[in-house]
Amino acid sequence: MKSLLRFNPPIFPHKFKPPFLTGVSCFLLLLYSCSVIKIPGKGKGRNLVEENAYTPLQAQDYADHFASLKKSFLNTPGVNQVRLDRYTTSYFQNVLSEIISKNEIFFLSLRSAEVTVIDSEMPLHFSLPKGEIFLSRGLITKYIKHESMLVSILAFELVRSEKLLYPKDVIIPTGSLPLERIIMLSRLSLEEKMQVHKWAHHLTERSGYDGEYYLSWLQTQNRNTADFLLQVGDANLITREEALFKAHLIKTDTENNVIKKNSSKNFYTLLNKLRDNIL
pLDDT in tens, 62-98: 888 888 999 999 999 999 999 999 999 999 999 999 9
- The span from the CA of 225 to the CA of 149, in Å, is 18
pLDDT of 16 reads 45
Phi and psi at residue 147, in whole multiples of 5°? -60, -35
Domain range list for the chain? 59-276
Q: Which distant-in-sequence residues (6+ apart) come within 8 Å of 64 by Cβ?
A: 129
Q: How far is the CA of 160 from the CAs of 26, 107, 131, 157, 212, in angstroms?
A: 73, 11, 9, 5, 21
- The span from the CA of 111 to the CA of 94, in Å, is 13
Phi and psi at residue 72, in whole multiples of 5°? -65, -40
The ranges of the chain with pLDDT < 70 are 1-55, 253-258
Residue closest to 114 by CA, chosen among 72, 81, 147 = 81
- The span from the CA of 152 to the CA of 33, in Å, is 76
pLDDT in tens, 107-151: 999 999 999 999 999 999 999 999 999 999 999 999 999 999 999
Cα separation of the two ends of the chain: 68
117 in Cβ contact with 82 (< 8 Å): yes
Secondary-structure breakdown of the chain: helix, strand, coil percentages, each rounded to the nearest 5? 50, 5, 45
pLDDT of 277 reads 82
Average pLDDT, the chain: 82
pLDDT of 61 reads 83
